[in-house]
Amino acid sequence: MFKTAAEAEAFCQDFVNMARPKGCEVVIFPPFTALSTVSHLMAGRGVTWGGQNFYPKESGAFTGEVSPLMLKDLGCTWALVGHSERRHVLGESDEFLAKKVTAALSAGLKANICVGETEKERELGQTSARVSSQLNSALASVPSDKVDQICISYEPVWAIGTGKNATSAQAQEVCAFIRGELTKKYGPDKASQTRILYGGSVKPDNIAEFTAQPDIDGALIGGASLVAESFHQIIVRGAKG
């Protein structure tokens, strides 16, 4: 919940002329009120955008909500599903999030599905069980021919907005586990082609150690993406050759 439309415009104007590595996909997720501004400024600039949230219906009496078709209408190609704040602050259940994945794909949006454990779950040795539960619930209705329309973001809840971050070895361990779960469900080819991102206090000075890991294909950036130069440096330093 950052940036007015005017602030988003200033960000885009700063960011759009910064050179980015070839072959690196960049997606930004503005608040709803800035989506129209971003769509006009970023169209044709090699950057795509998505919605932070939506309600899993095309339309209806759901005052205050936004449908996936409304996101499509503003040029969105992606939508976040299951971000830790939606789960733990706003109370969205695994079952509800599974409906959102289905609705996003049905509307022609790609889904960035977020999974991750709390600090207590990690301390109790429940990381794999929790991540597996979240992942398999979200993918329950995703057929093999739709796997190229998703990516998975591992974001340990204890490392978001806290200044803490998982070590690259910890992040790799969980991302490799996610890859294994995808292999069980869809086979090795689909699993290897599905992008797995790490998110959790990622900054310009630590991004390279994460993307150097074999099962980390990119990053979901939080606070460090709010300043165009910081976001640009993360992209440049984290680009995988």
Task: Find the catalytic residue in 83, 85, 181, 232.
Answer: 83
Q: Rounded to whole angstroms, how far apart are CA atoms 236 and 232?
A: 6
Tokens 């300043």 — which residue? 227
Instruction: Report, in angstroms and rounded to the nearest whole number, the Rg of the chain calculated over CA atoms.
Output: 17
SS3 state at 16: coil
- 155 an active-site residue? yes
Helix orientation angle between 5-15 and 228-238, rounded to the nearest 10 degrees:
40
Parallel, antiparallel, or unpaired for β 78-81 and 48-51? parallel
Among the options 117, 155, 181, 232, which is catalytic? Answer: 155
Euclidean distance between CA atoms 214 and 113, whole angstroms? 20
Distance CA(189)–CA(182), nearest Å, equals 10
Interatomic CA distance for residues 101 and 99, integer angstroms? 5
| Contact yes or no for 66/107 (Cβ under 8 A) | no
Helix, strand, or coil here: 2?
Answer: coil
DSSP H stretches of helix in 43-167: 68-73, 84-88, 94-106, 119-123, 127-138
Distance CA(209)–CA(155), nearest Å, equals: 16
Q: Which residues are catalytic?
A: 83, 155
